[in-house]
Amino acid sequence: MATKKKKSTKKSTTTAKKAATTKKKAVAETKKAKAVAKKETARVKKELKKADKKATAYIKKNPKKAAGISAAIGAAVAAAIAGGAVVASKRKKKK
């Protein structure tokens, strides 16, 4: 009669301990990353508020320049979109 060997529980216990340790490290690193992200988000929000105030003040002091700059940016964006549409239509015709 063949005898059955018992499975080694020592290996599975060691593997489980390693997995638990790895999980704890991952959780700790995730908490650290979340804390850093939260601080960075707060810093960026603060900077954006400052930039918004500066832009608003500039627009109030120089409304004509601001309108000109906005129009130029709008024209550039429109030209880029139109150029992309032309290129896309030429590609379709070639196929």
**pLDDT (tens digit, 9 = 90+) per residue, 36-80?**
999 999 999 999 999 999 999 999 999 999 999 999 999 999 999
In a 3-state reduction of DSSP, which class is residue 51?
helix
User: Can you point out the beta strands (E) in 25-68?
Assistant: none
Check residue 94 and give its pLDDT: 66
- The CA distance from 64 to 71, in Å, is 11
Cα–Cα nearest to 48, from 37, 56, 59, 36: 56
| Residue 11 or 28, more confident | 28
- pLDDT of residue 30 exceeding 70, the answer is yes
The model scores a pTM over 0.85? no
In the chain, helix, strand, coil percent, each to 5? 90, 0, 10
Question: Range with the lowest mean pLDDT among 9-18, 20-29, 40-49, 55-64?
Answer: 9-18
